[in-house]
Amino acid sequence: MHLPLPISHSLFNKKKEEWQRSPVASEALRPWCDSSRLPLSHLDLTGADLTDTLLADLLEAHQTAITQLDLTNVKVCASHYLYHLRFPEDEENSPNDLLRRVFEPLNDLRTLDLSYWNRMEDLRCVHPLHLTTLILFDVPDLYRTIDSVITMTELRFLDLSQSSRETGLYPRPVTALHKIVTHLKHLTCLDISSTNLAAQPSPKDWPGNVRSDIVGLRFLSKPLYFIGLFNCENASHFGEIPAKHISGDANEDQVIMALQMYKDRAGLLQSVLNESYQLYRFGNSNPLVRHTEALHLVLTAMQNHLEDSTLQIAGSASLFYIIRKVSMNRDTKKRVVSALLSGMETHMEEQVMVRNCCLSLCQFEIPQEILFDYSRLAILLVTVLQHHNADNLTQRIVVFLLNSMACHVEGDQKVQVGSFGAIEMILDQIRRKLGTNVCDDVMEVGWSFLWNITDETPVNCERFLKADGLLLFHKCFDAFRNERELVRNMMGLIGNIAEVDSLRSQLMNDDYVKIFSALLDLVEDSIEISYNSAGVLAHMVSDGEDAWRNLTIKREQVMASIVKATETWRLDTRRFINYRSFRPILRLLPLWHAYASQHWAVWALANLTTTDESPYCVALYYYVRTWDLTVLHLVYDVRTTEPVRRLALMVLSNIENWVCALQNCSFF
């Protein structure tokens, strides 16, 4: 069977993916030694581990058709020698000799890539070729090859760039560059990044009586289409550079070009990403306008070089400053989040990487914009707390993110987060803070997370209790009882536990009841702590006298304290709380044996329908009109206390006023 050229190339590229994963697989290229069945015009052997026989057979089979040859990072094994990075010293087996034999039959070869080859000597092996493109990226000591390179007068694209300046030093750089531009008349693209070829002349390195920003380029017959000047000291900052496109670090356009040109060269790309970070963090004398392009280029770099921790750190740092200026669509946001999670997942031990990723995630709407990978992020954040508990900044960021994730999500997702060990890890963080007698935002937000993650989620309440959470609550209260925000968050959590019938008994302890009762009078700045404490006690007294028989504090005394506290609160007090459901409150309304529970519950409804009438009147209107007539019963039942009856009437009046405002009609 004779395959068309495009199909043969497609199959060859599939095989290339295999050998790049497993060098042994390169022997699978043997079928392409029959060019009549599997023709090729481009032979890309990047990273292949070949025998000299297989290489020779491939080249011989396609010698009349090959126009492009890529030998980047190729290993050629011949006579027990490995031609990669090190070569035998004798002339017969030198790189020049090997490549001369490779190139000799390739009369139509136009593109050659020898990136990463070492010990190229003078490159005389290219003399018989008529190349238009020659790539010598990261080939050291290229100053030895200049006299050979300039013989290829048909060259249009020449890449002499390096990852490091150390391997890109020319003894007479101006003279070398002068030779290149005067001999290669058709040259349109020249990359000399990380070399000293753009240096200023010296008495021993002055090719004639010329004056120019880059002297060696003064003799060009026409401007270049592209020149790479990245990491060439300050050459990219020169005013007169004879090229349409420049890769460098002088401005945004140059950095963007560098990101495009070096996307597959990890060593050089890391430096470019560092420049990108500097540019988008500190700005430039010219306005920055290409943030979106930069974003996608940085994302590509991070995705293509996931295993390179140094590059990932540089990319994530740059990303942090870029995404603040980009109006991202949904797909781009997903791509950014995925790149951050992958980087954090792969380099969990790198504290800077983890911190960079978490800081960038803070710029998203949490949890809405990470719901597509909610579980993965939750697991990673818990893992970060395990690995980096000594870094206070990372702790703060992670606890903040976890708390944001616990807000505004459904019970299933809260259960997921709890199942990953988040509750236990946050409790450990709080214990560490308590051990150092420090109440900071990590502790406060940690308790806020616990409040949110247990809201209407009994299984998480149980996890908290099993992890000795109540004991920690007691200790934190004893140590920091004057920290109002902390106490508010802790009591919010205790309120969630109090709403769970099967768990409420664990609060039946004299010490806890004393704490809750003492907090009823705490209304200095707001009623939140007093309200939460009253709510906890309201649920506890709703269980009847039998539940209190082992306590020294009398239930009747507690109920009187609840009523007394509620009567001191202003009904028009606006509170920072979001009820998902009225069920825990409505449960208390028909309990005439627990008048304090009724009082607290109906006060809560009156307050909510007074200060936030729209959302809460809608909900109560539904309850009253469909099946729950408890509020009406409170008005007419003889067992109802007068204060509770007044509050119930106020609730109904608030609902009626809201309905009338909408429909201009009578409701009750």
Which residues does 395 contact at the CB level (< 8 Å), separation at least 6? 385, 388, 389, 429, 442
Q: Check residue 576 and give its pLDDT.
A: 67
pLDDT, residue 82, reads 35
Using 50, 70 and 90 to split pLDDT, how confident is the model at 86? very low
| Entry pTM | 0.79
Distances (CA, A) of 83 to 31, 95, 97, 105, 204: 23, 8, 12, 20, 37
- Looking at residue 124, its pLDDT comes to 87
C-alpha to C-alpha distance for 121 and 113, rounded to whole angstroms: 16
pLDDT in tens, 46-69: 888 877 778 878 888 888 888 898
Does 666 have pLDDT greater than 60? no
Task: Please give the DSSP secondary-structure letter assigned to residue 31.
Answer: G
pLDDT tens by residue, 492-521: 999 999 999 999 999 999 999 999 999 998
Residue 473 sits at the vertex; the CA angle it makes with 470 and 476, to the nearest 5 degrees, is 155
C-alpha–C-alpha distance, residues 456 and 252, integer Å: 51
Could you tell me if residue 313 is inside a domain? Answer: no
Q: What is the DSSP letter of 91?
A: G
In the block, which residue shows the tokens 């308590």? 434
* 346 vs 362: CA distance, rounded Å: 20
Task: Examine residue 21 and state whether it is found in any structural domain, yes or no.
Answer: no
What pLDDT does residue 24 have? Answer: 59
Q: What is the pLDDT of residue 103?
A: 84
Q: Is 536 part of a structural domain of the chain?
A: yes
| pLDDT tier at 41, thresholds 50, 70, 90 | confident
Confidence label for 131 from pLDDT (cuts 50, 70 and 90): very high
Domains contained in the chain, number: 1
User: Tens digit of pLDDT for each residue in 327-374?
Assistant: 999 999 999 999 999 999 999 999 999 999 999 999 999 888 988 999
Q: Is the pLDDT of residue 235 over 60?
A: yes
Give the pLDDT score at 618: 56
Does residue 624 have a pLDDT over 70? no
Q: Which of 277, 209, 225, 275 is nearest to 248 (CA)?
A: 275
| Spatial CB neighbours of 78, under 8 Å, sequence gap ≥ 6 | 51, 52, 93, 98
- CA–chain centroid gap for 348, Å, is 12
Contact 585, 604 (CB under 8 A): yes
pLDDT at 112 over 70: yes
- Report residue 657 CA to chain centroid gap: 49
- How confident is the model over 379-386, as a mean pLDDT? 91
Instruction: Among 83-87, 310-314, 643-647, name the one with the lowest average pLDDT.
Output: 83-87
Nearest to 299 by CA among 332, 344, 324: 332
Answer whether residue 633 is part of any domain.
Answer: yes
| Mean pLDDT of the chain, nearest integer | 86
pLDDT surpassing 70 at residue 79: no
Percent above pLDDT 70 for the chain: 89
Name the E strands within 160-230: 189-191, 224-228
Half-sphere exposure (CA, 13 Å, Cβ side) for 599?
A: 25
H or E segment to which residue 112 belongs: strand 111-113
Bridge-partner residues for 189, per DSSP?
Answer: 157, 226
Q: What angle do CA 52, 54, 55 make, to 5 degrees?
A: 65
In a domain? residue 255: no
**Radius of gyration of the chain from its Cα atoms, rounded to whole angstroms:** 37
Q: Is residue 327 part of a domain?
A: no
Spatial CB neighbours of 230, under 8 Å, sequence gap ≥ 6 = 161, 193, 194, 236, 247, 248, 249, 254, 258, 262, 268, 271, 272, 275
Sequence-distant contacts of 394-399: CB under 8 A, at least 24 apart? 394/351, 394/354, 394/355, 394/358, 395/429, 395/442, 396/440, 396/441, 396/442, 396/445, 397/355, 397/358, 397/359, 397/362, 398/358, 399/426, 399/429, 399/442, 399/445, 399/446, 399/449
pLDDT tens-digit readout, 171-189: 999 999 999 999 999 999 9
**Domain span at residue 559?**
520-667
Distance CA 382, CA 424 (A): 9
DSSP string across 260-319: HHTTT-HHHHHHHHHHHHHHHHH--SSPP--HHHHHHHHHHHHHHTTT-HHHHHHHHHHH
239 vs 250: CA distance, rounded Å: 10
3-state secondary structure of 195: coil
Mean pLDDT (whole number) for 379-395: 88
DSSP-derived letter for residue 503 is T
Using alpha carbons only, give the angle 201, 198, 137 rounded to the nearest 5 degrees.
140
453 versus 86: which is more confidently predicted? 453
pLDDT exceeds 80 at position 17: no
The answer on pLDDT for 577 being more than 80 is: no
Looking at residue 344, its pLDDT comes to: 95
- Residue 137 belongs to a domain: no
The conformation of residue 170, written as its DSSP 8-state character, comes to: -
- Cα separation values, 241 from 97, 212, 224, 229, 567, Å: 38, 9, 9, 10, 80
310 pLDDT band, cuts 50/70/90, is: very high
Residue 93 confidence (pLDDT): 59
Residue 563 lies in a domain: yes
Q: Mention every residue, 6+ apart, whose C-beta is less than 8 A from residue 180.
A: 146, 149, 150, 158, 187, 190, 216
